Amino acid sequence: MNSSSENSTALEVHDLCKSYKGRPALRGVSFTVSRGEVFAIVGPNGSGKTTTVEILEGIRRHDGGTFRVLGGSPSDLRVRESIGVQLQDGEVMQNLRPLEVLSLFRSFYPRGLEPREALDRVSLDPPRRTLVRELSGGQCKRLLVALAIVNDPELVFLDEPTTGLDPAVRRDVWEIIRDLRGRGKTVVLTTHYLEEAERLSDRVAILDQGEIAALDSPAALVGNSGLAGTIVFTFETEVPGLAERVAALFPGAAANGTGARVSSVRIEDDLHRIFELGRSAGTSVRDLAVHAPTLEDVYLSHTGRAWPGEESAAELR
């Protein structure tokens, strides 16, 4: 790689492998991230998202493959000073105040933001004497993001920054990420919210069982998926064995007692099949909607499995 491309590349990952007790967690993951890019790694729980970013952060060993972070190794002092990290399961001293925590972490770096400015950037303004343990879940996440940017890093790793947050707070965190992009920072974001990846990222890597199933911009992923849309329908009455009957017609579709969600390549043909299915079961379609395809449909088309969704992910967690 020449020096100009090296300068424009924040992350370069080649054939990364990792196993836990013989069970493969990453099977040859490769990607590059350009400087200033927001790069999302999406996948259900256990797909290898956190393993990937923690290897890149230098806090987890890898078994095979190579990678460079900002042109070096994460163990290099220069690299450590230039990256910001928000861990999925990281907490800080519970009896300190947010400003005190930020001031502590700021002291670890030769340059960075004033602690107050870091708080302002994440719109966190708790009462002055509030301790970390008294913050709400959303405030805690914001504080962790503030810690990740207090050294004004070139590259920020955000590992599931919105998990467990209510939709309004999630959108606030999205604004923080957009602000980082606006400041020219490179952001590597992991999430199991496909909508989040779709809205925030320049490119998305869909990770499935330790392998990258698809990697491109959200628009390109959807556009190249060959999907025409998603059909969501409900029958008037419960249909015995509906899940099996839907699966036979539409592999990978998600069904419950009276309805299903189907990714469609040809909308018109599939609508006919759905109405026919209703007639053969002695019922009729009560509700029906056709949506433009999303990353969820892309995941389905690449893996043959329905996206586990937020609830399933929460259960898995």
Interface residue list for other proteins (CB under 8 A): 20, 57-61, 77, 80-81, 83, 85, 87, 89-96, 100-101, 103-105, 107-110, 131, 147
Integer angstrom CA distances of residue 17 from 63, 76, 196, 295: 5, 21, 27, 25
In the complex with other proteins, the residue whose CB is nearer, 32 or 86, is 86
User: Minimal distance in Å, beta carbon 151 to other proteins?
Assistant: 8
Task: Look at strands 186-191 and 38-42 and give their pairing.
Answer: parallel
Rounded to the nearest whole angstrom, what is the least distance from the CB of residue 106 to other proteins in the complex? 9
Shortest distance in whole angstroms from residue 147 CB to other proteins: 7
Whether residue 241 contacts residue 234, with contact meaning beta carbons closer than 8 Å, is answered with: no
- CA separation, residue 299 to residues 233, 245, 249 (Å): 20, 22, 19
Tell me whether residue 112 or residue 278 sits nearer to other proteins (CB atom).
112
Give the nearer residue to other proteins in terms of CB position, either 57 or 154: 57
- Which residue, 37 or 57, has its beta carbon nearer to other proteins? 57
Nearest approach in angstroms of CB 235 to other proteins is: 47
By beta-carbon proximity to other proteins, the closer residue of 41 and 222 is 41
Task: Measure CA 39 to chain center.
Answer: 9
Residue 11 beta carbon to other proteins: minimum distance, rounded to whole angstroms: 15
Contact 158, 125 (CB under 8 A): no
CA dist., res. 300 & res. 191, Å (int)? 17
Quote the least distance from Cβ 80 to other proteins, whole Å: 4
Q: Decide: 258 and 277 in contact? Cβ < 8 Å.
A: no
Using DSSP's 3-state secondary structure scheme, residue 218 falls into: helix
Q: Which is nearer to other proteins, 85 or 212 (CB)?
A: 85
